């Protein structure tokens, strides 16, 4: 699902993030809890920089959740980040292609 970030801000009092994101024609609000911000990377930080650094991650989590729920607000908690991280780490890595080499017996005997 494609998305466009409209606004991003951090509530300095409770250290939670707020993202207004356009998913197609609709604008949804994503609230990122303080613990989700702390869980997304190491060392743990609940800062505006961390929110902006991982804004795509939070939008991907929200997009997946919007597929199974309705409403205009999505709350992302630490468990959501942990589930995303486990799914991301368990996805198969692309296998590098080997360069085609001639077989030794073909190269030695024309």
Greatest Cα-to-Cα distance within the chain, rounded to the nearest angstrom:
77
Residue 94's pLDDT is 54
Helix, strand and coil in the chain, % to nearest 5: 40, 25, 35
Average pLDDT over residues 33-53: 95
Report DSSP state, residue 33. Answer: -
Q: What is the pLDDT of residues 81-109, one digit of tens each?
A: 999 888 766 655 555 545 555 555 555 55
> Which residues have C-beta within 8 Å of that of residue 22, sequence separation ≥ 6?
3, 4, 5, 6, 28
How far, rounded to the nearest angstrom, does the alpha carbon of residue 42 sit from its chain's CA centroid? 15
Task: Compute the distance between CA of residue 26 and CA of residue 72 in angstroms, rounded to an integer.
Answer: 9
Six-digit token pair at 45? 């930080």
Instruction: Assess contact for 34 and 17: CB atoms under 8 A.
Output: no
Residue 98's pLDDT is 52
């Amino acid at each position: 699902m494609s998305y466009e970030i409209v606004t991003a801000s951090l509530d300095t009092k409770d250290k939670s993030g707020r993202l207004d994101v356009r998913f197609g024609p609709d604008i949804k609000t994503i609230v990122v809890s303080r613990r989700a911000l702390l869980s997304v990377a190491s060392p743990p930080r609940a800062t505006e920089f961390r929110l902006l650094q991982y804004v795509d991650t939070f939008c991907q989590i929200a997009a997946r959740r919007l597929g199974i729920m309705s409403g205009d607000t999505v709350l992302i908690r630490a468990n959501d980040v942990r589930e995303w991280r486990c799914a991301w780490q368990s996805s198969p890595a692309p296998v590098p292609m080997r360069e085609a080499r001639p077989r030794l017996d073909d190269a030695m005997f024309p």
